Structure 1
Amino acid sequence: MSPTMKQAPLLFLSACTLLAAAHFPAARAEGVITLKSGESLPGKIDALQDQYLKVQSRILSRPVDLKVEELDQITSSVPLAIPEQFSIIRLENGDELYGTLKSLDAESLQLETSWGGLLPVNRNHVRYIGFDKQKAYLRNATESLQGWTSAGNSMLPECRNGSWIMRGSNNTELQTKFDMPPRLHVQFSVYHTNSFRVHVFLWNDDNSQNKVEMTVSLEKAELNKVSSGHHKTIGRVKRQTERNWYSDKGVKRSDVQFYADREKGNYYLYLNGKQIARWEEGKELQNIFENEEADEEEEDGKDAKPHDFKPGNILGIRGYDSQNMALNNMNVLEWNGALPYPPEEQDIVGKYDRESSTDKVMLVNGDVLRGSISLQEDGRIRVKSNHYDVIVPTSKVRSLNQKKEEEKKAAQDNSDVRVFLADQSIVSIRLDAVRDGRLEGHSSALGKVSIPIQSLRKVLFNLQSPELKKQRENPFLGR
């Protein structure tokens, strides 16, 4: 194809954009290809040749070639395949690998994956080795609106760069349904100004209106429970008390983690890694925090009447901001009882015994084991020291570390493509070829990589592009 002909499809995409939207439901199985300019086209990738990506589309009579440097991303409707037990390997460049840990030593490890077989991973690029038994109900839910509906007359948000953009003060509320267990872990990040509010509704029942509601704003955090029409405030924590805080309209980011055990009545709220509230249902006038208040209208004492709570299967989230607000990286998991990492100072052995082993295993309950770490044939972790020799199932292990911090090396990453896979893995590679239904490239940590196209959920191109970097880091930036 001549250079002129190769440029023609790029010009043609502008005319195809509306047509692509009209064909979107049928074309979703193919995927949606988006250019840096914001123009989009339903289609699927076929081959890579001389920095041109060959694309097939149902709305085009023949394949077209798109210049790679003009691409932003490709998304598909491939569903997540979420296992209940897996190993997590996080790399220094932000990549995540999910699979089954098969072997490890101080220099390398091997991870069995569903898409790449047995992958060798260079430990110099590893930031975290963990194990997760939390069943995931939602993973990166803000990547799309699939499965979500608006409550009442609220507007659906715009999806952009993996975020829900909530425009102005429309009080957006979204709902989805799944069978909720009695313990849940909800996490998300929110970009906001000082006037924001976020409400999370758990175990909402359509008929009885029963629900547990957590509200967080810059002023306070509050937990309420509705049982058989009775509204009960479990706890309230004041947050921001400085004068003139409301006048600051700058955009900020808050990382929210909410842990809820409905049966035991235990609830924990973390913002940006810090616990700001711990509520225990049933304890009268609990004063866990000095600034926590009780609801004056609360019915209590011996005259209090029992209120049945029938849990529902609706999860809802509502956001408000006088300016624009964005939610991203929303995950909902079955909580395994573990809370965020305790500070390193709680590792008493490492703090006071400078001669102790730097190899350590962090357990789900916060305990730390130090000693020689090895992986057993049945997948359990063995920790051997001068004082004990124990074997721990990975379901009890949160993470492990076999290298000193000063031994870790920053990854020299020259990747140009980031791949999001159906098993939750995220892999950055330098793309070399697309052929025989696979993406082939090179990763600093993994070496040569071959990824089946059928396993892709999203591909980001031109990772080093300054323009796209800004758009991807700030969800409010448009094209």
Structure 2
Amino acid sequence: MKQAITLFLCACALPTALLLPHARAEGVITLKSGEKLPGSMDTMNRPYLKVRSSILSKPVDVHMGELDELSSSRPLEIPEQFSIIRLANGDEVYGTLKALDAENLQLQTAWGGLLQMDRKYVRHIGFDSQKAYLRNATESLQGWESSAKSTLPECRNGYWLMRGSNNTELQTSFPMPPRLHVQFSLYHTNTFRINLALWKDSESGNSINLDLSLEKAELSKNSSGQYRTLGRVKRNTERNWYADKSVKRSDVHFYADPEKGNYYLYVNGEQVARWEEVKEMDTIFENESGDNEGEDGESAGKYEFKPGNTLALGGYDSLNMAVFHLNVFDWNGAIPHLEEELDIISRYDPTAPRDKALLVNGDVLRGAISLQEEGSIRIKSDHYDVTVPTARVRALDQKGHEEKDLPEDSSDTRVFLTDQSVLSLALETIRNGVMEGRSSAVGKVRIPLQSVRKVQFNLQNPELRKQRETPFRCK
């Protein structure tokens, strides 16, 4: 065993430049110490994982306690339509919803067949009819290029790491639809700023630009080289905010419809700004200001906005910033979030059913939720009994169970699948090309290794948990 580990560590010390292309395609195994080795999983019999690598003469056994993660080169799959099941521990499972009642749901998956889940672990059931143009784009830099000769970020473990003092701007092109929903997450300090450019056209200068920082959010529009600010929103105005250098996380959702002139910005689930562009006059909302720079009312209509097909993302932080979970959808027009002030039933009637269906148009229906044979959703309450096609349902929110009612998660492995699913398991064995384990919500799970994109081991290890929560600490 000692000889095998020594061989493994020696191989890990090989420079990446010396690895053959086919070796890199195997995947990368990372130890807790930070050393890496191209390779793949073979079999597992606790406490050892047998690893195969093209740069080793024979497979070696590695102690499970020394592993950080394994990432493969398998590409992501982008389904057109699917159901999203979000669990209490943050896991997400994608598939087709086949059955739903008060106790359980059944989900048909591409990798595990028909899975039955205990609904007490389910927090959210989503129906995503938005076409995805980019899915988890930060997994690589493929298809992206640097603009304005800026520095490319480091791509590691699903993050784009933008180092301090480097202005980074990336761009990619695809046939953009009239409406877009862009979502991404950031680890950053108070000195960050990020810029998003949609429908960018290099020849005409046309683009819709969102600038976001701790201090403000600003939306602007370039039409044939004519710059116009649609609105600014002040955010953090506390004194001495600049002195705080701690790392924070922001989850950003931006919805844009330039044809109707409607724009929504959400950060960490809260609406930061809502802009409406009116042709005849400017609309400025509370806490906002706007201007037409270098443009008067008579000449405003002369600069027609013709959208391009380039999306650009730029960022800067005085220390470090990480961008991850970048997704771009053809926005289906659904109202982004239910505003809590509209949800008066929860506020004034604590006995009301906690399960609710949020429709695409923003309406909310409450009651006992079940799935019908034709795939529609039935909501039954004391006041109504209605059936709604799933195409009109945006999400089903589960509020009937509290986190404290659930047993502590004993999972030691998190598996990332090619269909976007993420599932935490108590890993039991790997054999015959199949990973077997147990999930609190799903029970016994069998996952083919060909469907596995990445595996994180030792989830309960304090050192690794801290590294994964803050990627700048990664070795």
State the shift of 1:195 in Å: 2.1
Give 2:11's aligned residue.
Answer: 13
The answer to whether residue 286 in structure 2 is matched with residue 289 in structure 1 is: yes
Deviates further, 420-429 or 304-313: 304-313
Give the TM-score normalised by structure 1.
Answer: 0.93
The amino acid that maps onto 2:273 is: A
Contact 2:124 2:398 in 1 (8 A): no
Pair 384,208 (structure 1): closer, same or farther in 2 beyond 3 Å: same
RMSD: 2.1
Q: Per-residue displacement from partner, 1:159-188 (whole Å, max 9, x unpaired)? A: 334322211121111112222111111112
Pair 194,348 (structure 1): closer, same or farther in 2 beyond 3 Å: closer
Pair 247,357 (structure 1): closer, same or farther in 2 beyond 3 Å: closer
Taking the aligned partners of 1:411 and 1:124, their CA distance within structure 2 comes to 11
Taking the aligned partners of 1:308 and 1:22, their CA distance within structure 2 comes to 53
Taking the aligned partners of 1:414 and 1:454, their CA distance within structure 2 comes to 25
Structure 1 residue matching 2:465: 3-state secondary structure: helix
Pair 338,21 (structure 1): closer, same or farther in 2 beyond 3 Å: farther
Pair 55,388 (structure 1): closer, same or farther in 2 beyond 3 Å: same
Pair 348,171 (structure 1): closer, same or farther in 2 beyond 3 Å: same
Taking the aligned partners of 1:305 and 1:88, their CA distance within structure 2 comes to 43
Taking the aligned partners of 2:370 and 2:215, their CA distance within structure 1 comes to 48
- From 30, 34, 40, the equivalent of 1:34 is 30
Taking the aligned partners of 1:402 and 1:278, their CA distance within structure 2 comes to 27
State the shift of 1:407 in Å: 8.9
Q: Per-residue displacement from partner, 1:418-464 (whole Å, max 9, x unpaired)? A: 00001111011111111111111111111111101111111101111
Contact 2:102 2:369 in 1 (8 A): no
Contact 2:46 2:64 in 1 (8 A): no
| Count of residues paired in the alignment | 474
The answer to whether residue 14 in structure 2 is matched with residue 54 in structure 1 is: no
Percent of matched pairs sharing the same residue: 63
- From 102, 105, 118, the equivalent of 1:109 is 105
The amino acid that maps onto 2:70 is: I
The answer to whether residue 454 in structure 2 is matched with residue 447 in structure 1 is: no
Give 2:241's aligned residue.
Answer: 245
Give 1:259's aligned residue.
Answer: 255
Structure 1 residue matching 2:34: 3-state secondary structure: coil
The amino acid that maps onto 1:293 is: G
Contact 2:102 2:370 in 1 (8 A): no
Pair 354,59 (structure 1): closer, same or farther in 2 beyond 3 Å: closer
Q: Per-residue displacement from partner, 1:193-215 (whole Å, max 9, x unpaired)? A: 22221000111123323211110
Give the TM-score normalised by structure 2.
Answer: 0.94
State the shift of 1:114 in Å: 0.3
Structure 1 residue matching 2:125: 3-state secondary structure: strand
Contact 1:237 1:293 in 2 (8 A): no
Q: How does 1:361-376 map to 2 (within 5 A)?
A: 361-376=357-372
Pair 224,345 (structure 1): closer, same or farther in 2 beyond 3 Å: closer
Pair 236,117 (structure 1): closer, same or farther in 2 beyond 3 Å: same
Taking the aligned partners of 1:350 and 1:167, their CA distance within structure 2 comes to 45
Taking the aligned partners of 1:477 and 1:327, their CA distance within structure 2 comes to 15
State the shift of 1:356 in Å: 4.2
State the shift of 1:472 in Å: 0.1
Q: How does 1:75-474 map to 2 (within 5 A)?
A: 75-283=71-279, 284-295=281-292, 297-353=293-349, 356-401=352-397, 404-406=400-402, 409-474=405-470
Pair 69,227 (structure 1): closer, same or farther in 2 beyond 3 Å: same
Deviates further, 341-350 or 30-39: 341-350
Pair 471,290 (structure 1): closer, same or farther in 2 beyond 3 Å: closer
Q: Where does the alignment leave 5 or more consecutive residues of structure 1 unmatched?
A: none
Taking the aligned partners of 1:445 and 1:259, their CA distance within structure 2 comes to 33
Pair 314,27 (structure 1): closer, same or farther in 2 beyond 3 Å: farther
Pair 259,56 (structure 1): closer, same or farther in 2 beyond 3 Å: same
Deviates further, 231-240 or 437-446: 231-240
Q: Per-residue displacement from partner, 1:290-311 (whole Å, max 9, x unpaired)? A: 442323x342323434223332
Contact 1:233 1:298 in 2 (8 A): no
Taking the aligned partners of 1:358 and 1:190, their CA distance within structure 2 comes to 32
Pair 195,348 (structure 1): closer, same or farther in 2 beyond 3 Å: closer
- From 2, 5, 14, the equivalent of 1:4 is 2
Taking the aligned partners of 1:416 and 1:244, their CA distance within structure 2 comes to 41
Pair 162,33 (structure 1): closer, same or farther in 2 beyond 3 Å: same
State the shift of 1:478 in Å: 3.0
Pair 428,37 (structure 1): closer, same or farther in 2 beyond 3 Å: same
Taking the aligned partners of 2:143 and 2:61, their CA distance within structure 1 comes to 33
Taking the aligned partners of 1:26 and 1:66, their CA distance within structure 2 comes to 22
Pair 453,231 (structure 1): closer, same or farther in 2 beyond 3 Å: same
Taking the aligned partners of 2:24 and 2:101, their CA distance within structure 1 comes to 43
Pair 372,220 (structure 1): closer, same or farther in 2 beyond 3 Å: closer
The amino acid that maps onto 1:7 is: I
Structure 1 residue matching 2:466: 3-state secondary structure: helix
Pair 157,105 (structure 1): closer, same or farther in 2 beyond 3 Å: same
Deviates further, 164-173 or 337-346: 337-346
Taking the aligned partners of 1:75 and 1:12, their CA distance within structure 2 comes to 20
Taking the aligned partners of 1:175 and 1:451, their CA distance within structure 2 comes to 35
Structure 2 residue matching 1:293: 3-state secondary structure: strand
State the shift of 1:26 in Å: 2.6
Structure 1 residue matching 2:473: 3-state secondary structure: coil
Give 2:68's aligned residue.
Answer: 72
Deviates further, 125-134 or 278-287: 278-287
State the shift of 1:129 in Å: 1.7
Taking the aligned partners of 1:38 and 1:10, their CA distance within structure 2 comes to 13
Q: Per-residue displacement from partner, 1:4-47 (whole Å, max 9, x unpaired)? A: 3332333323333x1x4433643343211111111111111111
Taking the aligned partners of 2:52 and 2:27, their CA distance within structure 1 comes to 10
